[in-house]
Chain A
Amino acid sequence: MLRLENIHTSYGPIKAIRGIDMEIKKGEIVSLIGSNGAGKSTCLMTISGILTPSGGSIVHGEQDITGLPPHSIVSQGICQVPEGRRIFPRLTVLENLEMGAFLGRSDFMPTLQRVFKLFPILGERKKQYGGTLSGGEQQMLAIGRALMSNPEILLLDEPSLGLAPIMVSKIFKTIQEINSEGVTVLLVEQNARAALRLSDRGYVLENGVITLSGSGRELLDNDKVRHAYLGE
């Protein structure tokens, strides 16, 4: 469904990712793990169009989407929830969700009901400014906002970062729930264990190159992964 072929992305002279090949199939949860600065976020931002790759191509279905601007990528059904949640602090919860539905890719009301069913707290707080929500609630809003665009593929960047443990497990449970409704998920996580547990497949990124890939189970059992990312 989404294929990265030999993708290179640089920040000026710094080559953040160097020749990545990846494939995400319909309905999968795929996680991308790696240490700080390995290029995980760069990879997501390259897919979502925030960064333009200096080489290689990104193919969605049959279509080459390399170098399209972010809003066109969203209209392709690929939506990123960036690191740090990035909700609009001075828009209300409802307005944040309306912005998620900006392109009108889905019927507004049913999608909104679906998001409120997934995150009842957002329904209760819909008139509050986004900036007044707690960290966990903001993460729910960020995911809910992305769902409003009715995405085929959801790119999640560090959804568990900085959240209380109880919230972390709730977010991971929700990701599974969203996936079971047919949304393909590409997940970037530092919490490698939790990510790999719910993933069909995973990739390990080191210094801008993929060094390992396999099913979630295989990676969890891999010695190298256990040492470097699971702290065993």
Chain B
Amino acid sequence: MLLQQLINGLTLGSVYALIALGYTMVYGILELINFAHGEIYMLGAYLGIIILGFFTAVGLTAFSLPLALGLTLLLTVIFSASYGFTVEKIAYRPLRSAPKLSPLISAIGVSIFLQNYVMITQGATDKVFPPLVSSAGVTVLSTRITFLQASIIVVSGIIMALLHAFIRKTRTGKAMRAVAQDKSMASLVGINTDTIISITFIIGSGLAAVAGLMVSMYYGLVNYFIGYSAGIKAFTAAVLGGIGNIPGAMFGGILLGLIESLGSAYISSEYKDVYAFVILILILLIRPSGLLGRNTEEKI
């Protein structure tokens, strides 16, 4: 029972972590809570269904399922990243020197817009993810782990490790950290800060899209509203780990997934969504800089 809940929690937590990374990276650089980020995740889920539907129609899924899924993942990431890039360019960049509240309100506007845009174009009813991936799995010690769960955990783990290496080791990653620490100084050493901000949105949106695709495969159902609760939970995860702190977002996401899953199992599943918000309130009251946070100085 406990092991089972840990596996479920880890699956859920990996997804939260992927979304939380987008919040935390954007916050680290712009000090903006990108409220539209949950919507990018939702778009990722829809794009996954649409693209996979197309591949099924042309017979690619029948030809090779792994190839179809791989291509779906790739295209979903590319499309969602372009959404993220465009949102930043249209809704946040013109407000770069405006008071901090303005881009925040703009973000809420984008969020409402995207939700309604998907509702109008895709319908207000739930969409079913084609059940292409079997629910097969293995059972060890009366604990069941499906192949899908295992893939979600492994894929998220690999992506987070790659992201970590990217930010630590590459020239662009170091420039992202420099911009997060001192934007105008970064421009004085020759870094084009707008480009770095765009890259941040592209990466964050790509991660959210991966999460969206994986979750829609996991739960099998998608609607235009899923970005809202997933977004707020991932935001909680980011705050839990210390907003602006990348390892913090990974840690916070997984911790939140575990709390939710254990709470549902041992306390009550009726309160599933309450745990996250209780945690958010407690963290804000007791340790606003988050578990791994360092006040505001380090942001990325």
Contacts and interface: CB of A to CB of B under 8 A. Distances in A.
B273 interface: no
A102 B190 contact: yes
B182 A99 contact: no
A88 B190 contact: no
- Residue in B171, B184, B187 with the greatest tally of chain A CB atoms within 10 Å: B187
Nearest to A96: B178
B188 interface: yes
A83 B191 CA distance: 19
B298 interface: yes
Contacts of B192: 69, 71
A71 B171 contact: no
Interface string A146-175: 100100000000000000000000000000
A172 B189 CA distance: 22
Interface residues of B, number: 19
Contact of B178 (A48, A75, A99, A105): A99
Interface string B183-199: 01111111111000000
Given A88-B181, A90-B297, A82 B188 contact: yes
Contacts of A90: 177, 181, 297-298
A221 to B, nearest CB: 35
B190 A86 contact: no
A79 B187 CA distance: 10
Given A86-B185, A88-B182, A99 B191 contact: yes
B186 A99 contact: yes
B175 interface: yes
A205 interface: no
A140 to B, nearest CB: 16
Interface string B34-58: 0000000000000000000000000
Contacts of A86: 182, 185, 188
B171 A88 contact: no
- Residue in B171, B181, B184, B189 with the greatest tally of chain A CB atoms within 10 Å: B189
B174 A99 contact: yes
B167 to A, nearest CB: 11
Contact of A88 (B177, B184, B187, B193): B177
B174 A70 contact: no
B175 A70 contact: no
Contacts of A100: 189
B164 to A, nearest CB: 15
B191 A91 contact: no
Given A48-B188, A88-B181, A102 B297 contact: no
Interface string A78-108: 0110100010111100010011101101000
B188 A74 contact: yes
A145 interface: yes
Contacts of A82: 185, 188
A113 B191 CA distance: 22
Nearest to A69: B187
A100 B189 CA distance: 5
Interface string B163-179: 00000000100110110
A50 interface: yes
B184 A50 contact: yes
B189 A145 contact: yes
B297 A91 contact: no
Contacts of A88: 177-178, 181-182, 185-186
Given A98-B174, A99-B174, A102-B171, A91 B181 contact: yes
Contacts of B298: 90
Contacts of B191: 71, 99, 102
Contacts of B188: 48, 50, 70, 74, 79-80, 82, 86
Nearest to B298: A90
A149 B297 contact: no
13 contacts: A50-B187, A69-B187, A70-B184, A74-B188, A79-B188, A80-B188, A82-B188, A89-B297, A91-B174, A95-B174, A98-B171, A102-B190, A102-B191
Interface of A: 48-50, 69-71, 74-75, 79-80, 82, 86, 88-91, 95, 98-100, 102-103, 105, 145-146, 149
